[in-house]
Amino acid sequence: MKKTDISPERLEARRAFIDRLSNAGWDVEPQNELLDAGVDVNPEAEATFAGPAFDLRLEYHANGHYLILEMDQTEGEIGLTLRMHPARDIRDLLDRIVVVQNVLNAENIGDFVKSFIPLCDPLLLETDEGVQRLSE
């Protein structure tokens, strides 16, 4: 999408994405600058974080107003991709991610994923077999 095609509410969500993650030590990807320059990009915002146990990659898709969170264990076999459609404010999801970014590990990842259920409508798990709905 081009910046001119994004609604003010979704531009605000994008700005919250960039600000919150930048302040929490994430690397905000260069396409963010491209969107500001008027280039058509997808996703509209993207950031990465190298945690102690998991590498995290987060995308914001303005057209559908959802986040995609990829979590890959740095030394192990766990890799998960969540598609999160915010039930309320996108900041709720961003805050939840930032709170655990440095403590996420193989033992607490299940609880971390479950913690998104009340914050999403819906919460989806992307797998090789397709997409599974985790929330009602």
Q: Per residue in 74-108, pLDDT tens?
A: 988 889 999 999 999 999 999 999 999 999 999 99
- The number of domains in the chain is 1
pLDDT at residue 1 tops 70: yes
* H-state helical runs in the chain: 8-23, 31-36, 90-100, 109-114
Average pLDDT of the chain is 92
Are 21 and 45 in contact, with CB atoms under 8 Å apart? Answer: no
- 103 with 112: CB under 8 angstroms? no
Q: Which residues contact 110 (CB under 8 A, 6 or more apart)?
A: none
CA distance 121 to 132: 13
Confidence check: pLDDT of 43 > 70 = yes
Supply the range of the domain harboring residue 19. 3-133
Token pair recorded at residue 11? 């531009």
User: pLDDT for 45-65, tens place per residue?
Assistant: 999 999 999 999 999 999 999
**DSSP label of 87:** S
